[in-house]
Structure 1
Amino acid sequence: MKLTRRPRDPVATREAILEAASALLARAGPEGVSLSEVAQAAGVNRGTAYQHFETRENLIAATVEWASDKMFRAVFGDPATIGERQVENVDPADLTERLADFAMSNPELCRVWLLQVLASPDPAADPFWREYVGSIGRFAATDLAEPGVDAEVLSVIVLSGAFMWPVWAGAHAQDSEERGELARRFARECMRLSMYGSMQHARFPAIAERLAAKPVSPPR
């Protein structure tokens, strides 16, 4: 009986390589990444890794782009429909919760993205950054915002906090349920600061009511 060779799945292989690269980037930084190490971690041979990414630089760039797309879809939705979104119709509390939940579930991915994009000479080339800071800028231009909001500074503050908070969670949470509670704590406090900082809080009574409810208790 002749055995047939199972066809390779290039999409799954690429995904495995990018996942391995993101973990190595988070642990060792760009200078600590090599295609050989990534291939080994992904469970593929070095030749296969080179077929997908010819150089280390290409791999790092692709990993950041991959992370950006995952965050974009989790926080904003399908990039193909983003043009339909009106900032006045977005629930900022829900968006903040989605960001906190994604960061808690994907801490290494988020830290890789943050460090690479903030160090980039052109952060606006990244789709997630462009949409995030752009949405704050569009919000700041409406009468829903307090005057003088600096969209770039606010974006760095919120994203840095969201992507570093899981470090605290890793040291203080015992299981996924506790990590989920910590994500909700972060989202709540971030929303409270925005409500009484960058937002015209009187225009958001539903969010004020949510914040007035009993907060999530910190773990003992």
Structure 2
Amino acid sequence: MAATRTDPDGRSRRRVRDPVATRETILEAASNLLARDGPEGVSLSAVAHLAAVNRGTAYQHFETRERLIEAAVDWVSDKLFRAVFGDPETIGERRVEEVDSADMTERLCDFAMENPDLCRVWLQQVLASPDPRQDPFWREYSGSFGRFAATDLAEPDIDVEVLSVVNLAGVFFWPILARAHAAGDRQRTELSRRYTREILRLSLFGTMRAEAFPAIVERVRPKS
């Protein structure tokens, strides 16, 4: 897409829009509509209007509404992945002992606190997927727990899938509560740290003293 600008000398020149930046703007607008109205509220014309581009430009990047929605969901997942884990191209180079669970949790909490709409889109679409395990962020997140659980650093018999679901559900719900009584960026950061501390405390110590609940200890003991 090109626009016209006028130089100080009065002559008009054509300004070429960056197609990569335009695509990014369209995807951001689509994700905002997905978060607010769900897939039913997304159309190419509505997204073009929100992104401040003409409809023809939107169609140049995405031929159909379905492709736009699919691309927006992938864009959100990639944003989440990069915020928590870094560049997907280099993720396989890390060793399990290099993964800092505290830092990973803090980055996830910070992203969720600052981007609740994106997290809502990711969660809605993954839950609607016929196979949520194919999502790149889910694979890496649960995979990180799985690799950790296989080391001697972890308690035995961790149910990796359940733990991953519990953590993500809490991380994505917490900002909804926290932002209701957070007056600014500083308070949101403090609330993010508060959530991180409690998740880490639960991971280290839990909430029940095992010696006080022998029946529950027996109940959760793996069956041979």
SS state at 1:148 partner: coil
Paired residues of 1:64 and 1:113 also in contact (CA < 8 A): yes
C-alpha deviation, 1:116, in angstroms? 0.6
Alignment of 1:165 with 2:177, yes or no, is no
Alignment of 1:5 with 2:14, yes or no, is yes
1:79-127 C-alpha deviation (Å, 9 max, x unpaired): 1111111122211111100110111111101110111112211223221
Higher relative contact order (CA 8 A, sep 6+): 1
Alignment of 1:83 with 2:73, yes or no, is no
1:46-77 C-alpha deviation (Å, 9 max, x unpaired): 11111111112111111111111111111111
Q: Tell me how many residue pairs correspond in the alignment.
A: 197
Paired residues of 1:39 and 1:45 also in contact (CA < 8 A): yes
Match of 1:104 among 113, 136, 144: 113
Alignment of 1:69 with 2:78, yes or no, is yes
Match of 2:62 among 49, 53, 68: 53
SS state at 1:4 partner: strand
Distance (Å, rounded) in 2 between the aligned partners of 1:135 and 1:195: 17
TM-score by length of 2: 0.84
Distance (Å, rounded) in 2 between the aligned partners of 1:78 and 1:142: 24
Residues 143-152 or 184-193, more deviating: 143-152
How does 1:1-220 map onto structure 2 within 5 Å?
2-197=11-206
Aligned residues: CA RMSD = 1.4
Question: Which has the greater radius of gyration?
Answer: 2
Letter of the structure 1 residue corresponding to residue 119 of structure 2: C
Paired residues of 1:111 and 1:164 also in contact (CA < 8 A): no
Distance (Å, rounded) in 1 between the aligned partners of 2:41 and 2:160: 33
Larger strand proportion of the pair: 2
Distance (Å, rounded) in 2 between the aligned partners of 1:27 and 1:84: 37
TM-score by length of 1: 0.85
Distance (Å, rounded) in 1 between the aligned partners of 2:97 and 2:161: 19
**Gap runs ≥5 in structure 1:** 198-220
Distance (Å, rounded) in 2 between the aligned partners of 1:153 and 1:55: 36
Identity of aligned pairs, percent? 72
**Gap runs ≥5 in structure 2:** 1-9, 207-224
SS state at 2:16 partner: coil
C-alpha deviation, 1:158, in angstroms? 0.9
Distance (Å, rounded) in 1 between the aligned partners of 2:69 and 2:112: 20
